Amino acid sequence: MAVIKYFNEMYQGDAVRTPYAQLQDWMQSMPAELRQMKQAEAENLFRRIGITFAVYGEGGDPDRLIPFDMFPRVFSAVEWAKLERGIKQRARALNAFLVDVYGRGEIVRAGKIPARLVYQNEAYEKSVAGFVPPKGVYSHIVGIDLVRTGPDEFFVLEDNCRTPSGVSYMLENREIMMRMFPDLFRENRIEPVDSYPAKLRRTLASVAPAKCDRDPTVVILTPGHFNSAYYEHSFLADLMGVELVEGQDLFVEGEFVFMRTTEGPRRVDVIYRRIDDAYIDPLCFRPDSMLGIPGLMDVYRSGGVSICSAPGAGVADDKAVYTYVPEMIRFYLGEEPLLKNVPTWQCGKADDLKYVLSNLKELVVKEVHGSGGYGMLVGPKSTAEQVEAFRLQIEADPGNYIAQPTLALSTTPTFVADGVAPRHVDLRPYCLVGERIELVPGGLTRVALKDGSLVVNSSQGGGVKDTWVLAE
């Protein structure tokens, strides 16, 4: 088997690449004892602040820390400018697609995407067909997962158009790095990320509904403290200065939604929901939901409240629909895609299925609706038994799977038990879409801490890093 050569983001041969020039001396001059002390300090800070996540289905206390690696990932201003243009382009096209498929469906009529992938998709919500949300925005926070394979080669791994999580780690990683290594920030001109909460609030307020005739009241709707991302929900509410509410805190009366307060009912104009479509209104979706607000969808469709991201946005981040995003960019924007898709085989197509089954050992196979690193096969890292077990799953339901080549994900230096070693990384920037499209310079870098692993998800043993974008 050929040895795969991975792009190391810090080194080009024996030379240090320019973005990392200031980190070489810092890395080499840090004694092991100081590194261990700082690592323990970071973990204590995360624990004190309460930044944990839950792994469902495990016994005992499910709350745990995501491992934090102190070695930052660095992008030059030029590298970031290229990524930013591509991310914004993709966010525009995805929202244009959503408005279209809940309206006239021109892209389907033109034969650019199969109708079944859209209208038979379990994420397609018939209850909002024909409705255009304020400012024509369905997906207000778009998380674009990116991987790098070379100096100028970036690929989009997947799109997250519903409620992409992890932004609290982007913000807290930076806060903790600044607290532990202030000299690094004095020596390097690093773009700040702390404007994200203000930008998020401005984005949400900008899509207030037609019936809002005053400064909009924004709330974050959470499923509650048992949710794995509850810390993030409360963290963002605090930073934005808005109320964190559960379904029981809201009620519908007439044409509006109200929040229960100690001073009486208060009208709500924008709901940043962090619960799935199925649970937001028991009168429209799952009748057994205890998390939502009865009648919410009627108020939404009549222009009395905005829901961010909009119900139905999930059809745009389906992994089978993902393969058509480059065509969306051409169709709606008349532009060529600035960021490439990973080549993808749809197992629902006979020829693709034949190829995938013949090459399982070399491919990464994912469930169309899977997330968090679950429901996937990394062929080169799997045993023969695991490959054969997955083959049976694919054959039983081909349309539920897509496959991609095993990319040579870039590596960045990472602190490990015996010093510094390269580990594979990806990146999730957060693109905000409202009256304007903007994103802070940075994102969440996830790192596969296990030697040789390509799976960066925290649920699968991955960690996080601070992401630096150098100022020009």
Q: What string of pLDDT tens digits covers the 472 residues of the chain?
A: 445 689 999 999 889 999 999 899 898 888 888 988 998 898 888 888 776 655 544 444 456 678 899 999 999 999 999 999 999 999 999 999 999 999 999 999 999 999 999 999 999 999 999 999 999 999 999 999 999 999 999 999 999 999 899 999 999 999 999 999 999 999 999 999 999 999 999 999 999 999 999 999 999 999 998 888 898 999 999 999 999 999 999 999 999 999 999 999 999 999 999 999 999 999 999 999 999 999 999 999 999 999 999 999 999 988 889 999 999 999 999 999 999 999 999 998 999 999 999 999 999 999 887 655 567 888 888 889 999 999 999 999 998 899 999 888 999 999 988 888 999 999 999 999 999 999 999 999 999 998 888 878 776 678 999 999 999 8
The three-state secondary structure class of 2 is coil
Domains assigned to the chain: 1-190+314-342+425-472 (no CATH), 210-304 (3.40.50.11290), 343-406 (3.30.1490.270)
Condensed to tens digits (0 to 9), the pLDDT of residues 81-124 reads 999 999 999 999 999 999 999 999 999 999 999 999 999 999 99
Please tell me whether the overall predicted TM-score, pTM, comes out greater than 0.75 for this model.
yes
- Per DSSP, 214 falls in state S
Indicate the angle between helix axes 230-240 and 196-206, nearest 10 degrees: 80
10: CB partners within 8 A, 6+ apart: 16, 17, 20, 23, 412, 413
